Structure formats: C-alpha cells, structure tokens
Amino acid sequence: MHFAFSLHEFGLQFLAVIVMLLILSVLIIVHECGHFSVARLFGFQTPVFGFGLPFGPTWTIGKKWGTEFKVHACLVGGYVLIPELGDESAMQNNLDVPLKPFKKFPIWQRILVASAGVAFNVVFAYFVMIAMLTTLGEPSQATVVYALVKENPIAANAGIRTEDEIVRINGQFVGSPADAVKILTGHKNEEVKIELKRKVDEKAEPITIAMKTNDAGKVGMALVGKGPVVYHKAEGENANVAWSAAKKLWSLSMSMFDALGQLVSGVWAGLTHGGKNAQGQAVPGFQDIHGVLAVIKIGADIARQDWTQLFLFTVLISLDLAIVNILPIPPLDGMHVAVMLLEGVRGKPMNEKVHNEIVRWGFVSLLLLMALIMVNDLSALLTGKLDLKSKKQDQEELKQKADSDKTQTAPATTH
C-alpha cells in the first residue's frame, strides 16, 4: 500500500512539474514572439528563432520568413537573433548563420523591438487576468489580525483584537493583507473605519471600529491570510471586468517593484551591515534570490494543492519576466534600451570597443548570478525551504506561534 501511495504521489508531482514547464515555455515563447513580430513589422533581420539556450545539441524544426526555428537541448530560455540591434558578429559566429547587409533603423524602432518582449509579457498577463476574473473571479482570503504591535498601539487602543477578521476599510473590500496595507497607506494620518467580524460564542458578529492612522499609514496590526482561497465572480459589463483586470495588474506590478526594491536594499545591507537594517532586523539578501528551479517547485506544489491558483501564478511569473528583462543588465532587453537611449541623447552610437566590453563583463556577471541562483535553488530544495505547506499546517503553525508570543510578526504583514 505504501508503494502504491508513493507511486501515486510521484505521478502527481511529475504531472505538476510538466504543467509548470509548459507554463514557463509558453511565457518564454510569448516574450520572444514580441521581439520577433515587431522586428518583422519594421523589416529587421530575424535569421534565428531559438527555444532554449544555444548550448548542446540543436535541432532545426523549420524555416519560414527567412528565419530558422531551432530547439536547443538546454531548455531554460529562448532568443530571437536580431543582428541589427547589436552584437551581431558574436551571435553570427556562435550560430553560424548567413546575414544580409545591415540596414540602419531609427532609434525609436530599435527601442520598440528591444522592449517588445516585455510588452508582450505584460499584455499576456493582462489577458490571463481577464480570463481568471471572467471564469473563476478574483481570489481572496480572510484577512485576520494575527498580532498587535506594542510599539504602535493605535489598533489595540481602538479595540481591535487578535483573531478579528478585517472585511472592509472605508467601505473597500479587503481580500488579502496586501489589500488592507494598500488602503491604509492611502489614508496616512486620517481617520479610517474598519469593518470586521469577531467571533463571540462561536458566532461571527459584525463590528465597525474607527481609528486614525499614523504618518506612515500604519495602525499597529500584524495581518495574515487565513483559511481557503475563495473566488468572487466579476460583475458588470465587459468594460468593468477589463478595468478591474488592469487595476489588479497594476497593483501586482507595484507590489513586485516594491519587493524588488526591498531585495536590492537587503543585498546592500548584507554587503554593508551584515544583512540587517537600521533597526537590527534581518532583511532579504543574496540567499533569497531564486530562479527557474524554485519557480517550477513552487508552481508544481500550487498545482497539486489548488490548480485554480495557477492563473494568478502565471500572471506573476509573466510580470516577473517583464520586470527582470527591463533591467539594464547585459544581455537583457533593458541594456539594449539603455544603450539606445544613450545614443539618442549623445547623438552618436556608443564606442564599439566600450560597448563590447560592457557586454562581455555584463555577460560574465550574469553567468555568476545564474550560478548563485542555481546554488540557492538547490540549497532551498534540499533543505525544504521551498516546500509549500498545506493550509492546515499553516493555520496550526500560526496558532502555535500566536499562543507562544503575540508580539512576534514574522509570518504576517505588519501594519
């Protein structure tokens, strides 16, 4: 019986990993199709469209529109060779493809080609968000007060208790701790009305409590999502659904930029202050940078526990691809855009020798970063850091943590 159960579990895990690989593959193809389609629109050469990185065995699966479509054994990325964007000699030597005489394209067209992959990932995320809202609805989870912060007693003095469930703030529905934080920070040093549910004799009673936020928009609550994820069907005309999807996508993007900023600050703190901020608290650092393996592991666990969350996970990964690729790091898209903007400001191209050195050392730095990410992913996999716990386990751990120390806020969003 144990063997049969283990085989069943292995089958589910294998299927979940395949699903995640398919999702990542689609997102990579979408990104490269952005470059390819806009390049073709303006008449750029696109001699090679490759799925995977050009290492190891390579198979040519077809040729169309002057482009060879290749599949590489190293299926961890993708590319479109567009020689008129730069680095054409190195790419030509590596891939051994014939090129036509180069055309000179205006900067605005080159910038659009370079940034088209990012744009396509954002647009794809938007349509996935619309699909989620129209089929399932918007995901939400009960937002519960996990602890009250002694250093900021505003909520405690107003009558908020632990285990209170936040329903609305100033009439706005709260579907996650992030929603509550966003609403509160939008009302700094203002009075807010918090509608909540409080368990009294096993019944949930509605209560409304008013309080004034501090200058940072905080009231001293540690919030956590608790219970099952539920979906609220989008209501209204198609235009309302489209607008809701746009707002949700914007909110997620800003949260991801904020998380990226915290990670950069954490890495800097790790280099200068031993991985701690000015208050002496540990912050994210190099060890928290993860890559493809982590994405596949977490996504596969999500697929096994609740496949409906794959919609939102796909949106997040698509946005993540867009944000990472727009960074000005060679050989990412952002570097091409930065070089072309500099060319536009200077009125002449960057010195070829300087440009090649930037590309060369940037590529070396990127390889080192990829090696670090691989080490982090493998370490996290071996130590179970990436294991997605069940909702029941999360709730039990939160309860034990709250019972032992009400002032600890590490697993929650403090606000």
Q: What is the pTM of this model?
A: 0.72
45-49, 50-54, 101-105: which is most confident: 45-49
21 burial level (CB within 10 Å; 0-12, 13-18, 19+): middle
8 Å CB contact between 372 and 267: no
Q: In angstroms, rounded to a whole number, what is the distance separating the alpha carbons of residues 257 and 267?
A: 15
Residue 118 has which token pair?
A: 């990012």
- Asked if 190 and 271 sit in the same domain, the reply is no
- Asked if 368 and 314 sit in the same domain, the reply is yes
DSSP secondary structure string for all residues of 275-317: TB-TTS-B---GGG---HHHHHHHHHHHHHH-GGGHHHHHHHH
Least confident of 9-13, 76-80, 118-122, 353-357: 9-13
Query: pLDDT value at position 55?
Result: 74
**What share of the chain in percent tops pLDDT 70?**
75
E strand or H helix that includes residue 147: strand 138-148
- Asked if 308 and 275 sit in the same domain, the reply is yes
Question: What does the DSSP 8-state code read for residue 215?
Answer: T
User: Does any domain span residue 91?
Assistant: no
- Asked if 174 and 244 sit in the same domain, the reply is no
What's the mean pLDDT in 293-300? Answer: 70
374 burial level (CB within 10 Å; 0-12, 13-18, 19+): middle
Give SS3 for 115: helix
Q: Identify the bridge partners of residue 168 per DSSP, sorted by sequence position.
A: 173, 195
What's the mean pLDDT in 295-303? Answer: 69
Nearest to 319 by CA among 36, 30, 74, 75: 30
Q: Identify the bridge partners of residue 48 per DSSP, sorted by sequence position.
A: 68, 81
- Asked if 124 and 263 sit in the same domain, the reply is yes
Give SS3 for 249: helix
User: Does any domain span residue 56?
Assistant: no
The CATH number given to whatever domain includes residue 222 is: 2.30.42.10
Residue 188, CA distances (Å) to 183, 216, 363, 394 in order: 10, 6, 44, 32
Least confident of 132-141, 255-264, 397-406: 397-406
Q: In angstroms, rounded to a whole number, what is the distance separating the alpha carbons of residues 264 and 378?
A: 22
- Asked if 369 and 258 sit in the same domain, the reply is yes
Q: Identify the bridge partners of residue 231 per DSSP, sorted by sequence position.
A: 139
8 Å CB contact between 167 and 231: no
277, pLDDT greater than 90: no
pLDDT tens-place string over residues 120-153: 999 999 999 998 888 888 778 889 998 888 888 8
14-28, 112-126, 223-237, 394-408: which is most confident: 112-126
What is the pLDDT confidence band of residue 406, given thresholds at 50, 70 and 90? very low
Least confident of 66-70, 106-110, 249-253, 301-305: 301-305
User: Does any domain span residue 154?
Assistant: yes
User: Does any domain span residue 195?
Assistant: yes
164, pLDDT greater than 80: yes
Q: In angstroms, rounded to a whole number, what is the distance separating the alpha carbons of residues 162 and 180?
A: 16
What is the pLDDT confidence band of residue 236, given thresholds at 50, 70 and 90? low
303, pLDDT greater than 50: yes
User: Does any domain span residue 50?
Assistant: no
pLDDT tens-place string over residues 13-44: 677 777 777 888 889 889 999 999 999 999 89
57-71, 112-126, 225-239, 394-408: which is most confident: 112-126
Query: pLDDT value at position 116?
Result: 94
Max CA distance (Å), the chain: 81
- Asked if 130 and 149 sit in the same domain, the reply is no
pLDDT tens-place string over residues 181-222: 889 988 899 999 999 999 887 788 899 999 999 988 889 888
CA angle, corner 164, sides to 279 and 408, nearest 5? Answer: 25
- Asked if 111 and 206 sit in the same domain, the reply is no
Name the residue with tokens 């949106």: 315
- Asked if 228 and 187 sit in the same domain, the reply is yes
- Asked if 261 and 378 sit in the same domain, the reply is yes
- Asked if 120 and 257 sit in the same domain, the reply is yes
Question: What does the DSSP 8-state code read for residue 169?
Answer: E
Q: In angstroms, rounded to a whole number, what is the distance separating the alpha carbons of residues 192 and 198?
A: 18
Name the residue with tokens 């800097």: 268
Count the alpha carbons within 13 Å of 197 in the hemisphere toward its beta carbon.
11
Residue ranges making up the domain that contains 155: 138-232+406-414
User: Does any domain span residue 131?
Assistant: yes
- Asked if 267 and 121 sit in the same domain, the reply is yes
User: Does any domain span residue 59?
Assistant: no
Give SS3 for 60: strand
User: Does any domain span residue 25?
Assistant: no
Question: What does the DSSP 8-state code read for residue 389?
Answer: -
Gyration radius of the chain over CA positions: 25
Residue 23 has which token pair?
A: 């999702």
13-27, 110-124, 226-240, 359-373: which is most confident: 110-124
Count the alpha carbons within 13 Å of 112 in the hemisphere toward its beta carbon.
13
Instruction: Give the count of domains, the chain.
Output: 2
pLDDT tens-place string over residues 81-92: 888 876 544 454
Name the residue with tokens 């895990």: 13
Taking CB atoms within 8 Å and a gap of at least 24, the contacts of 102-105 are: 102/45, 103/43, 103/44, 105/42, 105/43, 105/44
**3-state DSSP helix/strand/coil % of the chain, to nearest 5:** 55, 20, 25
